[in-house]
Amino acid sequence: MDKKISAISCGAEYTVAISTDEDEVYSWGWGDFGRLGHGSPDDMFLPKSIHALKGLRVVSVACGDTHTLAVTRIGHIFSFGRNQNGQLGHGTTQDCLVPNKIVALSGRCVVQAACGAEHSIALTQDGKLHAWGWGRYGNLGNGDFEDSYSPREIIGTEDLKFTDVACGWRHSLAVSDSGALYSFGWNKYGQLGLGDADQFQSRATKVECLGQKQISVISGGWRHTMAADMDGILYAWGWGKFGQLGIGNVSDQSSPQVVSAIASERIFKVACGWRHSLALSSSGKVYAWGRGNNGQLGIGKCMDMALPRYIEALAPGQDRNDYLKRAQKVETEQFLLQDRYAVVPQGDDDEEGTVPIFEEIHKRQRLS
């Protein structure tokens, strides 16, 4: 029988999906550290229901690199997976192979959760933000650079009520009920949108460069950020090395830039990957841009794009078989072998390392 899926989220090499009709949550993919919630670190090659969440009416899920959060309809939040920096919020650094309720947030009705690489943020019904996990870039918004093993309400926002929250790899974003955007955390590439590239910002700071624009949707990538306002105008800023900002060049930007190539479209959903970006317009068109060396842009070409490109394969009435035949003859740029794989960040300054993911996987297989 077909499963009616209402929401999905992707982490590092794994996926989680919700079926609200059946009150079940499914996960599959890479299972290290228990990020799938099945009680073991085994990989899953097909979706499997997470037994511990069955019947709990989970309404949203969020995935980090290796940890997962699940929010229920009555405002409880569960976490599982890797916990080396306290990103599960249980007051310890012990990994969890099955979902466990975050007791520290009992009595607070959680309405939304977001995951960075190793940090977590929860938005409660009263509009407050609570953060925990890896905090050494100020991405917890607590005015310091310390990890937190339990949720703490971010400071300096007592007079604000938030309605939306998102995380980049090691930076954080939140929208207030007035539509103002706030950011904090890692800022080496200008991904906070504050007009500078200072390394860190440990307190939630208003993105003044957006003026009076009312932000309606946000997304954080590895080192870049996107947001759309109530009029559907899309803005991008941060790291631009592969064209992932969609503004026609590969320069970093420390303040929000209008993605003018699709300014005529009303954008209402956005998503940032590590080095590429996607946007969905109210007309039903999906656009992609940025890094495309593995075909992740879906445009039939293995090449980077510095401007948004309409994904023709998703056009209404598109003959899928005809498109697949044409896509077999893709235009391919010449990439070095190591550039065809994601790169594992290494070092204290989180510069790109030199060990491709496939080498890490081979190492893991040798040790197992």
pLDDT at 348 over 80: no
Alpha-carbon gap, residue 9 to 15, rounded angstroms:
6
Global pTM reads 0.88
Alpha-carbon gap, residue 242 to 189, rounded angstroms:
13
Tokens 């991904």, located at residue: 191
- What confidence score (pLDDT) does residue 2 get? 73
SS3 state of residue 302: strand
Alpha-carbon gap, residue 336 to 342, rounded angstroms:
12
- Domain ranges in the chain? 1-155, 164-335
- CATH topology of 1-155 equal to that of 164-335? yes
SS3 state of residue 337: helix
- What confidence score (pLDDT) does residue 316 get? 72
Alpha-carbon gap, residue 79 to 12, rounded angstroms:
16
Contact predicate 270/279, CB 8 Å: yes
Our CA angle for 281, 282, 285, nearest 5°, is: 45
pLDDT tens track for 56-102: 999 999 999 999 999 999 999 999 999 999 999 999 999 999 999 99
Give the distance from CA 5 to its chain's centroid. 19
Residue closest to 13 by CA, chosen among 81, 97, 92, 78: 81
Q: What is the CATH number of domain 164-335?
A: 2.130.10.30
pLDDT tens track for 127-170: 999 999 999 999 999 999 999 999 999 998 989 999 999 999 99
- What confidence score (pLDDT) does residue 231 get? 97
Q: Of all residues in the chain, what percent carry a pLDDT higher than 90? A: 80
CA distances from 80 to 60, 64, 132, 134, 214 (A): 14, 11, 14, 16, 34
* Pair of tokens at residue 329: 């003859």
Please, which residues have CB within 8 angstroms of residue 145's CB and are 6 or more apart in sequence?
Answer: 135, 136, 137, 138, 200, 202
pLDDT at 292 over 50: yes
Spell out the CATH class of 1-155.
mainly beta
Least confident of 17-31, 76-90, 171-185, 338-352: 338-352
How high is the mean pLDDT of the chain? 89
User: With bands split at pLDDT 50, 70 and 90, how would you rate the model's confidence at 233?
Assistant: very high
* Pair of tokens at residue 2: 């077909």
